[in-house]
Amino acid sequence: MKHEWHQKVANYFEYVLNVVIIVIGVVIFGFLLRSIYHLLHLLLIVNDMRADFNEITESTLAVFLFFEFMSLIREYFIKDAHISMESFLYIGVTALIRAILVYHDQTMRTLLLALSIFLLVITLTFYRFFREKTKRLPKSK
What does the alpha-carbon distance between residue 100 and residue 131 come to, in Å, rounded to a whole number?
30
Q: What is the pLDDT of residue 140?
A: 63
pLDDT confidence of residue 22? 93
| pLDDT for the residue numbered 38 | 92
Q: Which of residues 41 and 136 earns the better pLDDT score?
A: 41
The pLDDT of residue 30: 96
CA 53: distance to chain centroid?
A: 24
Name the residue type at position 52: D
- Inter-axis angle of helices 85-102 and 53-78, nearest 10: 170
DSSP state of 47: S
Task: State the number of CA atoms in the 13 A half-sphere of 27 facing the CB.
Answer: 6
- Long-range Cβ contact pairs of 65-71 (< 8 A, separation 24 or more): 65/91, 65/94, 65/95, 65/98, 66/28, 66/31, 66/32, 66/35, 67/32, 68/94, 69/28, 70/25, 70/28, 70/29, 70/32
35: Cβ contacts below 8 Å, ≥ 6 apart? 59, 62, 63, 66
pLDDT, tens digit (0-9, with 9 covering 90-100), for 68-126: 889 888 888 888 877 888 888 888 898 898 888 877 788 899 999 999 999 999 999 99
141 pLDDT above the threshold of 60? no
Over residues 15-35, the mean pLDDT reads 93
Using one digit for the tens of pLDDT, what is the confidence trace for 55-66?
888 888 889 889
Q: Where are the domains of the chain?
A: 4-136
